[in-house]
Structure 1
Amino acid sequence: MTSIIKLYCLSGAGDETPPCYVLQVDEFKFLLDCGWDEKFDMEFIRELKRHINTIDAVLISHSDPLHLGALPYAVGKLGLNCPIYATLPIYKMGQMFMYDLYQAHRNVSDFDLFTLDDVDAAFDHIVQLKYNQSIDMKGKGLGLRITPLPAGHSLGGTVWRIAAPGEEDIVYAPDFNHKKERHLNGCEIEKLMRPSLMLLGAMNADYVQPRRRLRDEKLMTTILSTLRGGGCVLVCTDTAGRVLELAHMLDQLWRNRDSGLVAYSLLLLSNVSYNVVEFAKSQIEWMSDKLTRAFEGARSNPFALRHLQLCHSVIEVTRTPGPKVVLASCPDLEAGFARDLFLLWAPHPQNSIVLTARTSPGTLARELIEKGGDRVIDLTVRKRMRLEGSELEEFLQQQRLKVNNTIKEETAGVSSDSDSDGELEMWVVTGRHDIPVRHDTRPTGCFKSNKRHHAMYPFHEERTRADDYGEIIKPEDYRLAEIVDAEGEIRDVPPAPPQKQEPDEEMIEIPSKCITVQRQIHVKANIQYIELEGRCDGESLLRVVSQAKPRAIVGLRANTASLLTLSKHCEAEGIEKIYIPKKGDVIDATTESHIYQVKLDNGRVALEGVLSEEYYKVRELLYDQFAIV
Structure 2
Amino acid sequence: MFQFTALSGAQSTSRASQSILELDGGVKILVDIGWDERFDTRQLAELEKHVSTLSFILLTHATISHLGAYAHCCKHIPLFSQVPVYATAPVIAFGRTTLQDLYSSAPAAATFIPASASPEDQTATDDATRSNILREAPTFEEINTYFSAITPLKYSQPHQPAASYFSTPLEGLTLTAYNAGHTLGGTIWHIQHGMESIVYAVDWHQGRENVIAGAAWFEGIGGSDVSEALRKPTALVCNSIVGGKKARDEALLGHIRSCLSRGGSVLIPTDSSARILELAWLLEKVWQEGSNDENLKNAKVYMATKSAHATLRHARSLLEWMDDSIVREFEGEEENTNTTVKSHKRSKSKQGNAAKPLRPFEFRHVKIVETQNRLERVLKGEGPRVIVASDLSAEWGYSRAALEHIAQNPDNVVILTERVSTESTKDMATASTLGQWQTERLNGVALEKSLSGDQIEQIHTGKELVYREAKRVALDEAELSKYQQYMATQKQIRDSLLTSDGRQLADAEDAMAEDDESSSESEDEEDEQQGRVLNVSAALTHGNRNKVALSDEDLGVSILLRKKDVFDFDVRNKKGRNAVFPYAHSRKRGDEFGDFIKPEDFLREEEREAQEAMLDEKNNSVLGQKRKWSEDKTKQVKSNKKQKAEPAADGAGDDASSDESDSDVEAEGAGTEQQLPGKVIYEEKRINFQARLAFVDFAGLHDQRGLQMLIPLINPKKLILVGGSASETMSLANDCKALLGVRVDGAENESKAEVYAPQVGDMIDASVDTNAWTVKLTRDLVKRLQWQNVRNMSIVTISGQLRAESTPTQAEEEAGSKKLKLEDGSKKVEQEIQTNNKHQIQPVLDAIPASAAASLRVVTQPIHVGDLRLADLRRLMRESGHSAVFRGEGTLLIDDMVAVRKLASGRIVVEGPPVNLVVRNDSFTQVKQKIYDGLAVVAAG
Flag whether TM exceeds 0.5 (same fold): yes
Q: 1:311 corresponds to which residue?
A: 369
Distance change >3 Å, CA 580–CA 500, structure 1 → 2: closer
Q: CA deviation at 1:279?
A: 1.0
C-alpha distance in 2 between matches for 1:503 and 1:319:
14
SS in 1 for 2:178: strand
C-alpha distance in 1 between matches for 2:273 and 2:394:
16
Distance change >3 Å, CA 346–CA 502, structure 1 → 2: closer
SS in 2 for 1:456: helix
Residue pair 2:181, 2:212 contacting (<8 A) in 1 also: yes
SS in 1 for 2:297: coil
**Residues 1:281 and 2:316 are matched in the alignment:** yes
Number of matched pairs: 517
| Cα deviation digits, residues 556-598 of structure 1 (max 9, x gap) | 1112222223222222222521111110101111113676779
C-alpha distance in 2 between matches for 1:577 and 1:520:
50
Q: 2:215 corresponds to which residue?
A: 187
| Cα deviation digits, residues 13-48 of structure 1 (max 9, x gap) | 122331111101112111011101110132221100
SS in 2 for 1:142: coil
**Residues 1:211 and 2:243 are matched in the alignment:** no
C-alpha distance in 1 between matches for 2:53 and 2:773:
21
Q: CA deviation at 1:91?
A: 0.5
Aligned-partner residue type, residue 29 of structure 1 = K
Distance change >3 Å, CA 500–CA 177, structure 1 → 2: closer
C-alpha distance in 1 between matches for 2:648 and 2:437:
53
C-alpha distance in 1 between matches for 2:759 and 2:134:
31
54-63 or 318-327: bigger deviation: 318-327
SS in 2 for 1:618: strand
**Equivalent residue for 1:366, pick from 427, 432, 436:** 432
SS in 1 for 2:292: helix
Task: Please give the residue correspondences for 1:19-98 in structure 2 after superposition, counting only pairs within 5 Å.
Answer: 19-26=17-24, 27-78=26-77, 79-80=79-80, 81-98=82-99
| Cα deviation digits, residues 296-332 of structure 1 (max 9, x gap) | 4444544121111111134313323322111100011
User: Highest CA radius of gyration, 1 or 2?
Assistant: 2
**Residues 1:163 and 2:198 are matched in the alignment:** no
**Residues 1:620 and 2:844 are matched in the alignment:** yes
C-alpha distance in 1 between matches for 2:647 and 2:264:
40
Q: CA deviation at 1:363?
A: 2.0
Q: CA deviation at 1:159?
A: 0.3
Q: CA deviation at 1:384?
A: 5.4
Aligned-partner residue type, residue 192 of structure 2 = A
Q: 1:416 corresponds to which residue?
A: none
**What is the percent sequence identity of the aligned residues?**
28
| Cα deviation digits, residues 83-107 of structure 1 (max 9, x gap) | 1000000010000110011111139
C-alpha distance in 1 between matches for 2:469 and 2:45:
29
Q: CA deviation at 1:354?
A: 1.1
Unaligned 5+ residue runs, structure 2? 111-132, 163-167, 218-225, 335-357, 423-427, 439-460, 481-604, 616-634, 651-660, 742-750, 783-803, 808-839, 847-941
Residue pair 2:309, 2:647 contacting (<8 A) in 1 also: no
Distance change >3 Å, CA 169–CA 113, structure 1 → 2: farther
| Cα deviation digits, residues 84-132 of structure 1 (max 9, x gap) | 0000000100001100111111399975364125423431331001111
C-alpha distance in 1 between matches for 2:3 and 2:719:
13
| Cα deviation digits, residues 44-72 of structure 1 (max 9, x gap) | 21100110110011111101110011111
C-alpha distance in 2 between matches for 1:224 and 1:617:
79
Q: 1:14 corresponds to which residue?
A: 11
Residue pair 2:64, 2:98 contacting (<8 A) in 1 also: yes
Q: TM-score, normalised by structure 2?
A: 0.51
SS in 1 for 2:152: strand
Distance change >3 Å, CA 516–CA 566, structure 1 → 2: closer
Q: CA deviation at 1:620?
A: 2.8
Q: 1:152 corresponds to which residue?
A: 181
Q: 1:250 corresponds to which residue?
A: 283
Task: Please give the residue correspondences for 1:253-268 in structure 2 after superposition, counting only pairs within 5 Å.
Answer: 253-256=286-289, 257-260=291-294, 261-268=296-303
Aligned-partner residue type, residue 560 of structure 1 = A
SS in 2 for 1:147: strand
Distance change >3 Å, CA 384–CA 231, structure 1 → 2: farther
**Equivalent residue for 1:525, pick from 671, 675, 691:** 691
**Residues 1:543 and 2:541 are matched in the alignment:** no
Distance change >3 Å, CA 503–CA 509, structure 1 → 2: farther
Q: 2:632 corresponds to which residue?
A: none
Task: Please give the residue correspondences for 1:572-587 in structure 2 after superposition, counting only pairs within 5 Å.
Answer: 572=738, 573-574=740-741, 576-587=753-764
Q: CA deviation at 1:543?
A: 1.3
SS in 1 for 2:44: helix
**Equivalent residue for 1:115, pick from 138, 141, 144:** 138
Residue pair 2:775, 2:842 contacting (<8 A) in 1 also: no
Q: 2:417 corresponds to which residue?
A: 356
C-alpha distance in 2 between matches for 1:339 and 1:504:
18
Distance change >3 Å, CA 598–CA 563, structure 1 → 2: farther
Q: 1:199 corresponds to which residue?
A: 237
C-alpha distance in 2 between matches for 1:382 and 1:473:
30
SS in 1 for 2:393: coil
SS in 2 for 1:620: strand
**Residues 1:130 and 2:154 are matched in the alignment:** yes
Q: 2:405 corresponds to which residue?
A: 344
Residue pair 2:269, 2:417 contacting (<8 A) in 1 also: yes
341-350 or 500-509: bigger deviation: 500-509
Q: 2:824 corresponds to which residue?
A: none
Distance change >3 Å, CA 510–CA 51, structure 1 → 2: closer
| Cα deviation digits, residues 312-360 of structure 1 (max 9, x gap) | 1343133233221111000111111101111222122122111111123
**Equivalent residue for 2:609, pick from 456, 473, 477:** 456
Aligned-partner residue type, residue 330 of structure 1 = D
C-alpha distance in 2 between matches for 1:474 and 1:124:
24
Distance change >3 Å, CA 507–CA 20, structure 1 → 2: closer
Q: TM-score, normalised by structure 1?
A: 0.74
SS in 1 for 2:467: strand
C-alpha distance in 2 between matches for 1:259 and 1:277:
27
C-alpha distance in 1 between matches for 2:395 and 2:85:
29
Distance change >3 Å, CA 365–CA 508, structure 1 → 2: closer
246-255 or 519-528: bigger deviation: 519-528
Residue pair 2:107, 2:471 contacting (<8 A) in 1 also: no
Q: 2:394 corresponds to which residue?
A: 333
SS in 1 for 2:842: helix
Residue pair 1:108, 1:383 contacting (<8 A) in 2 also: no
C-alpha distance in 2 between matches for 1:337 and 1:284:
27
| Cα deviation digits, residues 449-488 of structure 1 (max 9, x gap) | xxxx9993467799999x9xxx99999xxxxxxxxxxxxx
Distance change >3 Å, CA 111–CA 251, structure 1 → 2: farther
C-alpha distance in 2 between matches for 1:286 and 1:357:
24
SS in 2 for 1:72: helix
C-alpha distance in 2 between matches for 1:500 and 1:383:
26
Residue pair 1:19, 1:174 contacting (<8 A) in 2 also: no
Q: CA deviation at 1:502?
A: 11
